[in-house]
Amino acid sequence: MNKQQIQFLSNLCFALGFLSILASILIWFSAGGQFGAPGTGDVMVELKRAYAERFGIFVGLWAPTFFIVSNRLHHYAEKK
């Protein structure tokens, strides 16, 4: 890989980090608005809400990984 390709991958990972944060927030908000208010007593609603919240957290945890990979690729491209 040449320096430009590595820098492109670094920038892509950086953008994906921010995208995963936004996706996490969208997943979490869509679950909150779509399935009704918490504490309504409907078990299926509560299970769907809990799943959506966990999935939102899971997607949000991708961000640090993308940022770390972006940083390492950027440093690698500079040394090349």
Helix (H, G, I), strand (E, B) or coil at 12: helix
Q: Which domain holds residue 48?
A: 3-79
Burial 1-18 (b: 16+ CB within 10 A, else e): eeeeebbebbeebbebbe
Domain count along the chain: 1
- Confidence label for 41 from pLDDT (cuts 50, 70 and 90): low
Report pTM.
Answer: 0.80
If you average pLDDT over residues 43-71, what whole number do you get?
90
What was the pLDDT predicted at 8? 97
Q: What tokens were used for 74?
A: 């950027």
